[in-house]
């Protein structure tokens, strides 16, 4: 389950709740957590999670960052921020990290090869700092091909341990999946490297992060598509409030066959509430 570290800093009770409920967090290293929280604060938080026996993942920062920017100054600033975040992420020994591709067709589409080369350089440098599997997530991309091409290049030319994080909510709203109804196309493009999901719901008008089943994302088609392709991605629930989390947890609990999809073969079965349960290196 997602847990922004800025929330923990402002209200430590958030971490207490995760520990008490045995929830494995995907820790959000947002701008505040990277710029304002000290390494000692992060070490203490990592120790608390380790003592509770909770594995974690880390979501790297993304606001105002452009890992493949064609502007040298913007690119340098983005790389510096992501490397700093990776240094902090390493303190948590994450099972994986998540980062945004941040491809913008209106800005980068005219020189895709240059964007791809720069983005690859950024992520290769980040993983020199924290040697963990990285999942590249779709956000505002109109089409799946730039994300797929980035991950293919990272794994092929750079030998980086990378996969794709498919955020169905971003597809449904930002990529106009609600109107295009092209889920199959996205799954086909991502399938060879689809390793992780971000799960929430919306009505197609915006990235609302509703509880599963309360929006219009075709979740049955999503899970059916995973089953048809023999995929077993791990997943993180991304509610933005406790009520939405309860709804999502109940939705999954009523669909054990979907929970089974999110459990990699030969890995221990996940409890319905433990939605961020990646096997080591998965």
Q: Which of residues 93 and 279 earns the better pLDDT score?
A: 93
3-state class (DSSP) for residue 95: coil
Q: What is the pLDDT of residue 120?
A: 97
Q: How many percent of the chain have pLDDT more than 70? A: 93
pLDDT(279) > 90: no
Average the pLDDT over 5-29 and give the result.
97
Burial of 248 (0-12, 13-18, 19+ CB in 10 A): buried
Asked if 195 and 166 count as a contact pair (C-beta separation under 8 A), the reply is: no
In whole angstroms, give the CA distance from residue 3 to residue 21. 13
Q: Which of residues 281 and 214 earns the better pLDDT score?
A: 214
Of the candidates 193, 146, 190, the one whose C-alpha atom is nearest the C-alpha of residue 168 is: 190
Categorize the per-residue pLDDT at 159 as very low, low, confident or very high, splitting at 50, 70 and 90. Answer: confident
From first CA to last CA, the distance across the chain in angstroms is 17
Of the candidates 90, 106, 107, the one whose C-alpha atom is nearest the C-alpha of residue 56 is: 90
In whole angstroms, give the CA distance from residue 133 to residue 265. 18
Backbone angles phi, psi at 162, to 5 degrees: -135, 150
Which residue intervals of 91-213 are DSSP H helices? Answer: 105-108, 112-129, 145-156, 168-173, 177-180, 183-190
Helix (H) or strand (E) holding 10: helix 5-10
What rounded mean pLDDT belongs to the chain?
93
Q: What angle (nearest 5°) sits at the alpha carbon of residue 159, between those of residues 158 and 165?
A: 95
The set of residues, in sequence order, having a beta carbon less than 8 Å from that of 85 and lying 6+ positions away, is 29, 34, 60, 61, 126
Q: What is the pLDDT of residue 272?
A: 34
pLDDT(157) > 70: yes
Q: What is the pLDDT of residue 107?
A: 93
pLDDT in tens, 223-259: 999 999 999 999 999 999 999 999 999 999 999 999 9
CB atoms within 10 A of CB 239: 21
Q: What angle (nearest 5°) sits at the alpha carbon of residue 37, between those of residues 34 and 41?
A: 125
Asked if 210 and 202 count as a contact pair (C-beta separation under 8 A), the reply is: yes
Q: What is the pLDDT of residue 266?
A: 56
Q: What is the pLDDT of residue 268?
A: 45
Q: What is the pLDDT of residue 274?
A: 40
pLDDT in tens, 61-114: 999 999 999 999 999 999 999 999 999 999 999 999 999 999 999 999 999 999
- The reported pTM is 0.93
Asked if 83 and 129 count as a contact pair (C-beta separation under 8 A), the reply is: yes
Q: What is the pLDDT of residue 276?
A: 42
pLDDT(220) > 50: yes
């Amino acid at each position: 389950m997602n847990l922004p570290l800025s929330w923990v800093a402002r209200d430590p009770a958030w971490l207490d709740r995760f520990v008490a409920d045995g929830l494995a967090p995907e820790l959000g290293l947002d701008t505040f957590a990277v710029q304002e929280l000290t390494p000692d604060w992060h070490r203490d938080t990592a120790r608390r999670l380790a003592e509770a026996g909770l594995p974690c993942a880390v979501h790297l920062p993304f606001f105002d960052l452009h890992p493949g920017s064609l502007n040298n100054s913007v690119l340098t600033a983005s790389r510096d921020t992501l490397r700093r975040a990776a240094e902090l992420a390493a303190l948590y020994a994450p099972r994986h990290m998540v980062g945004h591709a941040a491809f913008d067709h209106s800005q980068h589409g005219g020189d895709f090869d240059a964007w791809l080369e720069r983005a690859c350089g950024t992520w290769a440098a980040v993983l020199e700092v924290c040697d963990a599997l990285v999942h590249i997530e779709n956000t505002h991309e109109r089409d799946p091909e730039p994300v797929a091409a980035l991950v293919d290049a990272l794994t092929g030319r750079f030998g980086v341990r990378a996969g794709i994080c498919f955020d169905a909510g971003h597809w449904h709203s930002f990529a106009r999946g609600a109107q295009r109804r092209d889920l199959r196309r996205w799954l086909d493009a991502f399938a060879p490297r689809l390793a992780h999901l971000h799960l929430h719901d919306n009505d197609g008008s915006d990235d609302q992060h509703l509880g599963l089943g309360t929006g219009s994302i075709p979740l049955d088609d999503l899970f059916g598509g995973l089953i048809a392709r023999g995929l077993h991605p791990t997943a993180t629930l991304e509610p933005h409030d406790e009520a939405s989390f309860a709804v999502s947890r109940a939705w999954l609990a009523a669909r054990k066959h979907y929970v089974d999809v999110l459990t990699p073969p030969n890995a221990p079965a996940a409890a319905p509430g433990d939605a961020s349960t990646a096997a080591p290196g998965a």
